[in-house]
Amino acid sequence: KVGAATETEMKEKKARVEDAMHATKAAVEEGIVPGGGVALLRAIPALDRLAKSSELGHDARIGAQIVRRAAEEPLRWIAQNAGEEGNIVVAKVKDLDSEIGYNALTGKFENLIEAGVIDPTKVVRSAIQNAASIASLMLTTEAIVADIPEKKKEAPMPPGGMDDY
């Protein structure tokens, strides 16, 4: 049971509890890996080998390169959202040991498993599989139908005397 002062707060807490429960079940099933995008970054050498494999066709190799580039993005964005230069953080983490990564909460490079920054292996594996599937689909698709983005109207000018707000 989840309790809260308002219905909105209760729904949010309930969603958090459910997310934690699902993550715990996934971790029990397949284990854990360092979080913060580090596990995806550690998959890059395998993706590089796959992209160079002569067993794959041209489209599949291109797909592996797309997934490889995408594997860097979570860590890059975590670092940028923490006020750091994402490319520099990614480059530094690539040179560190497998469990060492960037902890955005502390701003330090440390063992993320010991720091409690973890992801369920099942979640990371599924993310890679889904990314590969989507990359493959996009490479073999002749055309994609999408909505044209709507231009947003600019906010009206504030009334006189309210320029400071």
d(CA 74, CA 68): 12
pLDDT at 6: 87
pLDDT digits 0-9 by tens, 4-55: 788 888 888 888 888 888 888 887 888 889 999 999 999 899 888 888 887 8
Query: Is 149 a domain residue?
Result: no
Decide if pLDDT at 165 tops 60.
no
| Residue 162 confidence class, pLDDT cut points 50, 70, 90 | low
| Residue 74 belongs to domain with CATH number | 1.10.560.10
| Residue 57 confidence class, pLDDT cut points 50, 70, 90 | confident
Q: Kindly state the DSSP code that residue 109 receives in the 8-state scheme.
A: E
43, 18: one domain: no
Q: Output the average pLDDT for the chain.
A: 85
48, 95: one domain: yes
Q: What percent of the chain has pLDDT over 90?
A: 30
pLDDT at 98: 83
15, 48: one domain: no
Q: pTM for the full model?
A: 0.69
Q: Which domain holds residue 9?
A: 1-30
The predicted model gives 78-91 an average pLDDT of 95
d(CA 54, CA 152): 48
38, 20: one domain: no
Give me the sign of the Cα torsion angle 107, 112, 114, 119: positive
